Amino acid sequence: MIPAEQLSEPAVRALVDAINANDVDAFRAALTPDATMSDDGSDRDLRQWADREIFSSNGHMDVESEADGGRSLVARYRNDTWGEMRTAWRFDVRDGKVSRFETGQA
Protein backbone atom coordinates (compact mmCIF):
# COMPACT_ATOMS: atom_id res chain seq x y z
CA MET A 1 0.00 0.00 0.00
CA ILE A 2 1.04 3.58 -0.66
CA PRO A 3 0.43 5.94 2.26
CA ALA A 4 -1.68 8.92 1.19
CA GLU A 5 1.08 11.35 2.16
CA GLN A 6 3.35 9.69 -0.44
CA LEU A 7 0.98 10.10 -3.41
CA SER A 8 2.68 12.03 -6.23
CA GLU A 9 -0.09 14.44 -7.25
CA PRO A 10 -0.81 17.02 -4.49
CA ALA A 11 -4.46 17.55 -5.53
CA VAL A 12 -5.14 13.80 -5.49
CA ARG A 13 -3.30 13.47 -2.18
CA ALA A 14 -5.54 16.17 -0.66
CA LEU A 15 -8.68 14.42 -1.89
CA VAL A 16 -7.59 10.99 -0.62
CA ASP A 17 -6.60 12.52 2.73
CA ALA A 18 -10.04 14.14 3.00
CA ILE A 19 -11.83 10.89 2.16
CA ASN A 20 -9.82 8.90 4.71
CA ALA A 21 -10.32 11.57 7.40
CA ASN A 22 -14.08 11.66 6.63
CA ASP A 23 -13.61 15.44 6.29
CA VAL A 24 -16.37 16.92 4.10
CA ASP A 25 -14.91 20.43 4.19
CA ALA A 26 -11.44 19.28 3.13
CA PHE A 27 -13.00 17.12 0.40
CA ARG A 28 -14.89 20.08 -1.03
CA ALA A 29 -11.81 22.31 -0.72
CA ALA A 30 -9.81 19.80 -2.81
CA LEU A 31 -12.29 20.12 -5.70
CA THR A 32 -12.86 22.87 -8.23
CA PRO A 33 -16.26 24.58 -7.83
CA ASP A 34 -17.50 22.91 -11.03
CA ALA A 35 -16.03 19.45 -10.33
CA THR A 36 -17.76 16.41 -11.82
CA MET A 37 -17.47 12.66 -11.38
CA SER A 38 -18.59 9.31 -12.71
CA ASP A 39 -19.05 5.92 -11.04
CA ASP A 40 -18.81 2.78 -13.18
CA GLY A 41 -19.11 4.88 -16.33
CA SER A 42 -22.22 6.87 -15.33
CA ASP A 43 -22.04 10.54 -14.42
CA ARG A 44 -23.36 11.19 -10.92
CA ASP A 45 -24.21 14.21 -8.82
CA LEU A 46 -20.89 14.60 -7.02
CA ARG A 47 -22.26 15.99 -3.76
CA GLN A 48 -24.99 13.34 -3.42
CA TRP A 49 -22.61 10.55 -4.39
CA ALA A 50 -19.94 11.68 -1.91
CA ASP A 51 -22.47 12.01 0.91
CA ARG A 52 -23.78 8.48 0.23
CA GLU A 53 -20.63 6.60 -0.79
CA ILE A 54 -18.06 8.34 1.42
CA PHE A 55 -19.26 10.44 4.31
CA SER A 56 -22.42 8.76 5.61
CA SER A 57 -20.91 5.29 5.08
CA ASN A 58 -17.35 5.81 6.40
CA GLY A 59 -15.56 5.48 3.05
CA HIS A 60 -11.83 4.73 3.08
CA MET A 61 -9.18 4.24 0.38
CA ASP A 62 -6.05 2.09 0.69
CA VAL A 63 -4.02 2.90 -2.42
CA GLU A 64 -2.29 -0.08 -4.04
CA SER A 65 -0.65 1.69 -6.97
CA GLU A 66 -0.49 4.94 -8.89
CA ALA A 67 0.27 5.85 -12.50
CA ASP A 68 0.10 8.86 -14.82
CA GLY A 69 1.96 11.11 -12.41
CA GLY A 70 -0.36 10.16 -9.55
CA ARG A 71 -3.55 10.92 -11.50
CA SER A 72 -4.56 7.26 -11.80
CA LEU A 73 -4.89 5.03 -8.76
CA VAL A 74 -5.85 1.47 -7.99
CA ALA A 75 -7.17 1.24 -4.45
CA ARG A 76 -9.01 -0.99 -2.06
CA TYR A 77 -12.07 1.09 -1.28
CA ARG A 78 -14.40 0.21 1.56
CA ASN A 79 -17.50 1.65 3.13
CA ASP A 80 -20.23 0.46 5.47
CA THR A 81 -22.69 -0.02 2.59
CA TRP A 82 -20.74 -2.13 0.09
CA GLY A 83 -17.83 -3.52 2.10
CA GLU A 84 -14.45 -3.60 0.34
CA MET A 85 -13.75 -3.69 -3.38
CA ARG A 86 -10.79 -3.12 -5.65
CA THR A 87 -11.37 0.14 -7.51
CA ALA A 88 -9.72 2.22 -10.21
CA TRP A 89 -9.69 6.02 -9.98
CA ARG A 90 -8.71 8.58 -12.61
CA PHE A 91 -8.39 12.28 -11.78
CA ASP A 92 -8.31 15.46 -13.85
CA VAL A 93 -6.55 18.33 -12.11
CA ARG A 94 -6.94 22.04 -12.87
CA ASP A 95 -5.36 24.90 -10.94
CA GLY A 96 -4.16 22.56 -8.20
CA LYS A 97 -7.57 21.01 -7.52
CA VAL A 98 -9.45 17.97 -8.77
CA SER A 99 -11.86 19.00 -11.51
CA ARG A 100 -13.16 15.51 -12.31
CA PHE A 101 -12.73 11.99 -11.09
CA GLU A 102 -13.90 8.70 -12.47
CA THR A 103 -14.11 5.59 -10.37
CA GLY A 104 -15.25 2.03 -10.83
CA GLN A 105 -14.37 -1.53 -10.02
CA ALA A 106 -10.87 -2.55 -11.09
Mean pLDDT of 10-33: 98
d(CA 58, CA 68): 28
Per-position b or e across 23-55, b if 16+ CB within 10 A of its CB: eeeebeebbbeebbbbbeeeebebeeebeebbb
37-67 residue pLDDT tens: 999 999 999 999 999 999 999 999 999 999 9
Q: What is the CATH number of domain 4-105?
A: 3.10.450.50
Confidence of residue 15 (pLDDT cuts 50, 70, 90): very high
Query: Sorting pLDDT into bands at 50, 70 and 90, what band is 106?
Result: very high
Output the pTM of the full model: 0.95
Confidence class of residue 16 from pLDDT cuts 50, 70 and 90? very high
